Each structure stands twice: as structure tokens, then as C-alpha cells.
Amino acid sequence: MTEQQQYTALLAEGSAVPTLLCGHCHSILSRARIFRNQGSQNQNTECRTIGLCSADDCGAVNCCDGALARVDNPERLFGIAS
């Protein structure tokens, strides 16, 4: 079994709405695929927030903690996603 590589999500610069980008391919991470790393969705990682890239050739797992730390109100991102 191979261990899946994890990337660090990026915060899109100059975006009016907080937008996270995949650390591997730089595609936009869909808010529907960003989730808290807890409960039944718990991944074996230290990240509190995970973003899954939905780009066709990517599918990377992204740690979103650093990018969300740069957002004034990261809870707003989850409000938009809900």
C-alpha cells in the first residue's frame, strides 16, 4: 500500500471571496470538497482542514490550515460551503 502525498493549499491572491488553490496543480479547490478533519471524515494527518482537488489529472489531498490562517474569518468559508 502506498502512502498518498499531501500538498499545502494556497490562498488565491487578490480574490474578493476567499479562494483556495491546490498546492499541486493550482486548480481552485471546490468548497464542497473542503472539510474538517474530524469524525467519520478523519484522515491520518495532522491537518485540521483538508481540501480534495477535483481536477481531472490531479486528485491531490491538500492541507488547508496555512491558507485558512490567512483568511480574516475562516468560518465564513465553511458557511459559504454549507
Domain presence at residue 1:
no
Domain presence at residue 34:
yes
- Count of domains observed in the chain: 1
pTM beyond 0.85: no
pLDDT tens digits for 33-80?
998 887 655 667 789 999 999 998 898 999 999 999 888 776 766 655
Domain presence at residue 10:
yes
Domain presence at residue 30:
yes
- Domain extent for 16: 6-81
d(CA 43, CA 61): 10
